[in-house]
Structure 1
Amino acid sequence: MRKKDMDKVAAVKQAVYDITINEGYQNLSMSKIAKKAGVSQATIYLTYESKEDMLTSIYVEAKDILDSQTKVDLDPATDIETKLKQLFTNYVKTLLAHPEQALYMDAVNNTPELIERNVYQEMMHRNDDIQALVTAGQKAGTLAKVPFPLLVAFTFDSINSWMKVAYSHHVEPDEDQITTAVALCWKVMKA
């Protein structure tokens, strides 16, 4: 078996990001990915068993990058407002630092059948720490007693929409805008 060339693997990932972002996930054919990456389809199959395996692997890697910066502060001395504001700030800054991964994840999150179902479900449970924090805040009366998916829609999903606008207009929000966005997210969540 031939050895994987990590530069070619990186080129394949970049091709997947480029095609997904610029042409839409529906144009992610193996031949188009190979051509854009400057490799043969056989090279792709040295690394990935199938297209689904490739898209899943790239999704997991992108999610790892984003999740690594958005963990809940577990210090019991830190109040919920501070924890959530820090979480939202980290989320915005991570999306700004990794726009291709963020846009790719958004495409997959909107079309989860692109990747292996069991892996997608597992990735969604990585956010259980956030849900546990929200539940604790709701029980304490600090956070609004609103279903978690609704809170996500008006906080994280709103940030995602804002970032897509920023990416498409090639504008990076400044610290004041980030602070304002975080304050708006907190306003949605507080009791």
Structure 2
Amino acid sequence: MINMREKDQSKKAKIIQAVFEIVDRDGLAGLSFGKIAKWAGISSGTPYVYYRDKTDMLSQIYVAAKQQLESGLDEQLAQTDSTKEQLITCLEYFARQYIKYPLQANYIMAIHAAPELITPTARQEGASFTNSLSGLYCRLCKESQAAVVGDQFLVGALLLGPIMWLLRQAKLNNTQVDDAQIKRVVRISVNGLFEEENHETSL
């Protein structure tokens, strides 16, 4: 017999899944509590039981999705002491999780394109992966192994740009990305940071 708490959690799970599916099909602009309720097969007032408003809902789901995709990363990073290999591990893990959880990953990317839709607290809580990348890169710079780039947005573009392009193209073309492709793109991206011509002092 299903108790009330299990039933309530089931309804919340339906809401979250509906949000992921609607954003995947229609984007964030297609979201409303009414549409979510209809999609999830629940009453129109049910979302208000779990969320104060749309901003609260988007924020909570964003933080939870980020935590789900990043779960286990610390254990992966602990397997090597090499900063460069940790950076590679971080990017490869991101790509594999993106493929494993496509709806959650798509939702996160949609929020990143419209960060004003969530609270500043949620944005801060969701920055852990970017902070990990930046931290590893800064450590490489201190070790004089990589180019020094002061702009953290540029660091993100250098490290995430190539693998994100690969993943997005695969989604657009309805094709699969295999592990060999992930490793190759990530290593080319990271190794590019160690090329002499990439150092700001040589520009």
Fold similarity call, TM over 0.5:
yes
Name segments (4+ residues, structure 1) moved above 4 Å. Answer: none
Summarize deviations over 1:71-99 as a string: whole Å, max 9, x none.
47357x72222111111111111111111
CA distance in 1 between counterparts of 2:72 and 2:103 reads 16
- Match of residue 189, structure 1, among 175, 190, 193: 193
Residue 126 of structure 1, CA deviation:
5.5
Counterpart position of 2:103: 100
Relative contact order, higher structure (CA 8 A, sep 6+): 1
Identical aligned residues as a percent:
30
Q: Give the alignment's TM-score, normalised by structure 2.
A: 0.83
Summarize deviations over 1:119-148 as a string: whole Å, max 9, x none.
212322564333222111112111111233
State whether residues 62 and 126 of structure 2, in contact with CA within 8 Å, keep that contact through their aligned partners in structure 1: no
Paired residues in the alignment total 189
Q: Give the alignment's TM-score, normalised by structure 1.
A: 0.88
Q: How does 1:73-88 map to 2 (within 5 A)?
A: 73=77, 78-88=81-91
CA 1:129–1:175: 2 relative to 1, 3 Å: closer
Counterpart position of 2:199: none
CA distance in 2 between counterparts of 1:126 and 1:120 reads 12
Q: What is the RMSD of the two structures over their aligned residues, measured on CA atoms? A: 2.1
- Match of residue 39, structure 1, among 37, 42, 45: 42
Which residue identity lines up with residue 181 of structure 2 in the other structure?
Q
- Match of residue 64, structure 2, among 61, 84, 87: 61
State whether residues 69 and 91 of structure 1, in contact with CA within 8 Å, keep that contact through their aligned partners in structure 2: no
Q: How does 1:1-191 map to 2 (within 5 A)?
A: 5-71=8-74, 73=77, 78-125=81-128, 127-146=130-149, 147-191=151-195
Look at both structures and tell me which one has the larger radius of gyration over its CA atoms: 2
State whether residues 144 and 189 of structure 1, in contact with CA within 8 Å, keep that contact through their aligned partners in structure 2: yes
CA distance in 1 between counterparts of 2:179 and 2:122 reads 35
